[in-house]
Structure 1
Amino acid sequence: MWTQQSRGRMAQIAKKTKRYPSDLTDEEWERIAPLMPKPGRRGRPREVDFREVINAVRYLVRSGCGWRMLPVHFGAWQTVYGWFRELARRFLFQTIHDIELMLDRERCGREQSPSVGVIDSQSVKAPTAEKRGFDAGKKVLGRKRHIAVDTDGRLLMVNLTTADISDSAGAQAILDGVRKRWSWVKHLFADGAYDRLKLMDKASYLDFVVEVIRNGPIEAA
């Protein structure tokens, strides 16, 4: 018989069972649960399940579906979207990313915070984007991702622009972001597209050394 007790037991089993590949494991949730907003002292008790909110966001990102197409067992999409906006406003996703990156570096025997990074860009077609630009060098009409990674390829910072923005111009926002979030980074490697006076001046002002590599491997740090 389907009783309140059996319903509660099935709910606990469901939490431990991954319905989708994007669902958090118990171990993953335990690491980020302390970062979730604490309930207020006043007002109605909070009923939202933050684990389900994060699962819903991960499902949306992995599947590429829209908010209105979220499976119903994540709850009302308006509720999920509202909490996504609130958590993003609190920089929660950025905090989770940075903490996990540092923990992963530590697991690999590295210092938690990187001291060396690599900057680069990638132009991609974006037929449905509201704003696009033409990258004359790569013959691509769309958007451009300007990124900074550590020397193992972990993402440190990303700046999204239209594809007509030059690599050096897009990298200036990357330098600002890296300096604020990764204060230990002092040395950045880049290719010849970044060998521009304005970018080098800004790098010097922010206490970066940008080394332009024409050919050859980049040493890990």
Structure 2
Amino acid sequence: MSMPIAVAAGPAPATLGKARRRASQADSAVDENWELVRAAQRGDTSAFATLYDRHVDGVFRYVLLRVGDRHLAEDVTSETFLRALRRITSISYQGRDVGAWFTTIARNLVFDHVKSSRFRLEVVTDEIAEPGAGSGAPPGPEQQVITRTTNDELLRCIAGLGDDQRDCIILRFIQGYSVSETAAIMQRNEGAVKALQHRAVRRLATLLPRGIR
């Protein structure tokens, strides 16, 4: 008698179709943003204004999570886009969305602030969007660890991480950047980012209240 052979079920066609559509839409948005960069480089001020409108909320959210002060975050966000405007002619396509470039500038400004003063991570949670809101990818196990918390709990846990781990978690799961984009922003290779992400998520798991682990 022949025995039935168990076959692992793959992703449903509908799920694959949705994932492909999300990927296609993300690629189109990246291409459109770089068209705006090229227009801004030719002196089109409205193109840079459009880039600002598309990315200012994400940059502000990132800075606010890092510095914990709304007014300082507003100042750093403004300085980020002023620097970007000054440097717009020097940037060329880098295989990633231009939003990662804005975030890199913001990250460097945050580091300058950290070096010059000490502060606590105290964030008004209604300023923060849902974790991973900017990512088109379906949530993985690590994303699920992040999204099981409330914003309040998430921010308290993030505050307990070291600087590099905190940055990695914010960029990957709150800003929604890919591993390669996060690596470029943090000036590390992708393997180092994956290892850092793994350690950060494990550390977050130990910080979460027992009821939501």
Please give the range of the TM-score, normalised by the shorter of the 2 chains. Answer: under 0.3
Task: Please state which structure has a larger fraction of its residues in helix.
Answer: 2
Q: Which has the higher contact order (CA 8 A, sep 6+)?
A: 2
Larger radius of gyration: 1
Judging by fraction of residues, say which structure has more strand: 1
TM-score (norm 2): 0.27
TM-score (norm 1): 0.27
